[in-house]
Amino acid sequence: MIYQIYPRSFADSDGDGIGDLPGITARLDHLAELGVDAIWLSPFYPSPQADAGYDVADYRDVEPLFGTLADADHLIAQARARGLRVIVDLVPNHTSSAHRWFDAALATGPGSAERQRYVFRDGRGPDGTEPPNDWQSVFGGPAWTRVADGQWYLHLFDPGQPDLNWDNPEVRTEFLDVLRFWLDRAVDGFRVDVAHGLIKQADLADWQEPQEILSGPETDKPRPPMWDQDGVHEIYRDWRRLLDGYPGERILVAEAWVEPAERLARYVRPDEMHQAFNFEYLLASWTAPAQYAVITRSLAATDAVGAPTTWVLSNHDVVRHASRLGLPVGTARPNGIGIGDEQPDAATGLRRARAATLLMLALPGSAYLFQGEELGLPEHTTMPDEARQDPTWERSGHTQRGRDGCRVPIPWEADAPSYGFGPTDASWLPQPPVWAEYALDRQRGVTGSTYEMYRAALRLRRTHGLGRGTLEWLSSGDEVLAFRNGGLVVLTNFGAAAVPPPGGELVHSSGPLNADGSVPTDVTVWVRPA
Ligand code: GLC
Q: Which amino acid is at 68?
A: T
Sort strands 144-146 and 152-154 into parallel, antiparallel or unpaired.
antiparallel
The rounded distance, in Å, linking the Cα atoms of 224 and 201 is 9
**Residues 301, 318 within the same domain:** yes
Is the bond preceding residue 159 a cis peptide, omega within 30 degrees? no
What string of DSSP letters covers 156-201?
Answer: SS-TTSPBB-TTSHHHHHHHHHHHHHHHHTT--EEEETTTT-SS--
Between CA 287 and CA 293 the distance in angstroms is 10
Report the distance separating Cα 253 and Cα 32, nearest Å. Answer: 22
Identify the CATH number of the domain in which residue 492 sits: 2.60.40.1180
Residues 133 and 36 in one domain: no
Cα-to-centroid distance, 137 and ligand 1 (Å): 12
The answer to whether position 463 is within a domain reads no
Q: Is residue 404 lining ligand 1, measured as CB closer than 6 Å? A: no
Question: Do 271 and 335 fall into the same domain?
Answer: yes
> Is residue 150 domain-shared with residue 174, that is, in the same domain?
no
Cα 255 to ligand 1 centroid, rounded to whole Å: 9
Whether 296 and 421 share a structural domain: yes
What's the structural domain count of the chain?
3
pLDDT for 220: 75
CA atoms within 13 A on the CB side of 252: 28
157 CA: nearest ligand 1 atom: 6
| Same domain flag for 375 and 323 | yes
Q: Is 390 a catalytic residue?
A: no
Which domain covers residue 398, as residue numbers? 2-95+169-454
* CA distances to 272, 349, 373 from 315, in Å: 24, 16, 9
pLDDT of residue 212: 87
Same domain, 200 and 107: no
Q: What is the pLDDT of residue 500?
A: 98
Looking at the fold, whether 105 and 87 belong to one and the same domain comes out as no
Burial class (CB in 10 A: 0-12, 13-18, 19+), 219: exposed
E strand or H helix at 29: helix 28-34
Active-site pick, 55, 188, 193, 379: 193
Q: What angle do CA 508, 510, 513 make, to 5 degrees?
A: 80
Residues 239 and 343 reside in one and the same domain: yes
Q: Looking at the structure, do residues 12 and 71 belong to the same domain, yes or no?
A: yes
pLDDT tens digits for the chain (530 residues)? 999 999 999 999 999 999 999 999 999 999 999 999 999 999 999 999 999 999 999 999 999 999 999 999 999 999 999 999 999 999 999 999 999 999 999 999 999 999 999 999 999 999 999 999 999 999 999 999 999 999 999 999 999 999 999 999 999 999 999 999 999 999 999 999 999 999 999 999 999 888 888 887 777 778 899 999 999 999 999 999 999 999 999 999 999 999 999 999 999 999 999 999 999 999 999 999 999 999 999 999 999 999 999 999 999 999 999 999 999 998 988 999 999 999 999 999 999 999 999 999 999 999 999 999 999 999 999 999 999 999 999 999 999 999 999 999 999 999 999 999 999 999 999 999 999 999 999 999 999 999 999 999 999 999 999 999 999 999 999 999 999 999 999 999 999 999 999 999 999 999 999 999 999 999 999 999 99
DSSP 290-309: HHHHHHHHHHHHHHTTT---
Nearest to 359, CA basis, from 525, 528, 527:
525
The answer to whether residue 413 is catalytic is no
